Amino acid sequence: MLLPRIGQTIKLTFAGSSEDPRLHTYKSRVVDIKDEVASIELPTNEETGRTGLFQAGEECEVWYVGEDGSRYEFHSSIVGRQRDHIPVLFLQLPSKESIQRTQRRNYLRIDSSLDIAVKLDDPIRRYHFLARTVDISGGGLSFTCEESYRLQEKDQVHIWISMPNKTGPVQHAYALLEVVRQKPAEKKGLHQWISGKFVQISEQDRAKVVRACYERQLELRKKGVAE
């Protein structure tokens, strides 16, 4: 199993007195690793953007998305803090055997409207257009577009995905998508529905997509939309 690396963004969930655990989910970044202990930036609350008071011995659940697009989880605790030029917390790292990996093949699919560019290289159907996703996962996506683009099952289209990032610049990912289903528009003037699977995508770009899905899921949970 993969331990978090320096520069890795991690999420931490702290147990608290509130009945709503979402209020205790924080975001941080690994700045150093030494002797099975990770130095991390002061975690900030996903909802408020504020940090909290973290004491040595406080337990937490940690998860992050690895370079392979998988989600990794482990139980840990705060073992200390440092108040130098850049304040950090010391997080105990687990043995590799105790890290759990999930979402490798059955990727989380989430409803999300993202801007994408679609291109079909075909001698007759030379399409290049913009569209928006209906849902997306680390394994594929669905989108709608005008029926004038005569896409068919087994078509392979180039997809460029634009993913907003609250903490930095917009993230971009590229994939080759194979159309697995084409649903015609229900009425004239409406858009058709296309669903496909990624048949070619770098693990780095897949990780961006998976990370965006989990962040979107967290956002929906805060709004009371997702379970």
In-domain check, residue 3: no
Q: Is residue 1 part of a domain?
A: no
Q: Are residues 162 and 59 in the same domain?
A: no
Joined tokens for residue 94: 């687990």
Calculate mean pLDDT across residues 51-73: 82
Instruction: Mark whether 155 and 196 lie in a shared domain.
Output: yes
Please indicate, yes or no, whether residues 118 and 210 belong to a single structural domain of this protein. yes
What total of structural domains would you count in the chain? 2
Q: Are residues 119 and 167 in the same domain?
A: yes
pLDDT reported for residue 19: 43
Query: Do 72 and 120 reside in the same domain of the chain?
Result: no
* Residue partners of 153: CB distance under 8 A and separation at least 6: 179, 180, 181, 182
Residue 51 and residue 75 in one domain: yes
Q: Which helix (H) or strand (E) holds 205?
A: helix 203-222
Whether residue 83 is found in the same domain as residue 125: no
Does residue 175 sit within a domain? yes
Res. 193: pLDDT tops 90: yes
Residue at 193 is within a domain = yes
Rounded Cα distance, 39 and 89, in Å: 6
The reply to whether 84 and 128 lie within a common domain is no
- Host domain of residue 133: 110-222
> Considering the domain boundaries, does residue 2 fall inside one?
no
Choice between 80 and 45, residue whose per-residue pLDDT is larger: 80
State whether 26 and 79 are in the same domain.
Answer: yes
Residue 227 lies in a domain: no
Q: Band of the pLDDT at 16, cuts 50, 70, 90?
A: low
Q: What is the pLDDT of residues 56-66, one digit of tens each?
A: 888 888 988 77
Give the pTM. Answer: 0.54
Residue 53 sits in the same domain as residue 27? yes
Choose between 191 and 105: higher pLDDT. 191
Q: Are 81 and 56 in contact (CB under 8 A)?
A: yes
**Is 19 in the same domain as 89?**
yes
pLDDT of amino acid 216: 81
Greater confidence (55 vs 189) lies with 55
Whether residue 68 sits in one domain with residue 23: yes
pLDDT of residue 168: 73
What angle (nearest 5°) sits at the alpha carbon of residue 218, between those of residues 162 and 4?
Answer: 80
Q: Are strands 9-14 and 192-200 parallel, antiparallel or unpaired?
A: unpaired
